[in-house]
Amino acid sequence: MNRFSLLSLAVVLSGLSLCSHLIADDTPATREEKLAKYLSSTQFIGKFTVDGKDAEPKTEAYTIKSCEKLPSADLYRFVARIKYGNVDQEVPMDLKILWSGNTPVITLDSLWIPGMGTFDARVMIDGGRYAGTWQHGEHGGHMFGKIAPLAAEDQDTSPSPEPAP
């Protein structure tokens, strides 16, 4: 085997090992539970593009504080910190995650996010990476990057202090 073939094999196997906990011979309930645990306390770090703009992709980051499977089919509750422009807020969102074979796809259909507007998206998760499409009114594009665990100092689990009266 030449070096390129060995490198290619190593890359494929390492990608499979990153998501193998989701594709084993699990029951759907076990697979859903593992996915929620995998997505909790993570950050999606990457880039996004805007269709029709001849520009370099822009940096983006989404912090997923927690993810839990809800009783309804395909529904998960994400608590995410969103930083965009003047917006910096933590938002609970009930999102569908559909499966394409063994690949989870986060699915937003006309989801209204306070302070930001209404979004549609399809975001595939595979091998410690994400990739997908997004739409916000007349604007849309692609998004892609890696999924990384949150640093310990970013995993604040204490309740937020109450504002002073």
> Is residue 119 in some structural domain?
yes
> Is residue 89 in some structural domain?
yes
> Is residue 156 in some structural domain?
no
> Is residue 19 in some structural domain?
no
**CA-CA distance, 141 to 37, in Å (whole number)?**
28
> Is residue 4 in some structural domain?
no
**CA-CA distance, 66 to 25, in Å (whole number)?**
25
Reading the block at residue 29, the tokens are 């309930």
The mean pLDDT of 138-164, rounded to a whole number, is 75
Give the count of domains, the chain: 1
Chain centre distance of CA 146: 9
**CA-CA distance, 120 to 137, in Å (whole number)?**
9
> Is residue 46 in some structural domain?
yes
Residue 41, phi-psi category: left (phi > 0), alpha (psi -120 to 50), beta (remainder): left
Query: What is the pTM assigned to this prediction?
Result: 0.78
Range of the domain at 55: 26-151
> Is residue 160 in some structural domain?
no
Between 7-11, 17-21, 110-114, 119-123, the lowest mean confidence (pLDDT) is in 7-11
DSSP label at residue 24? S
How would residue 24 be classed by pLDDT, with cut points 50, 70 and 90? Answer: low
**Domain CATH code at residue 133:** 2.40.128
**CA-CA distance, 75 to 57, in Å (whole number)?**
30
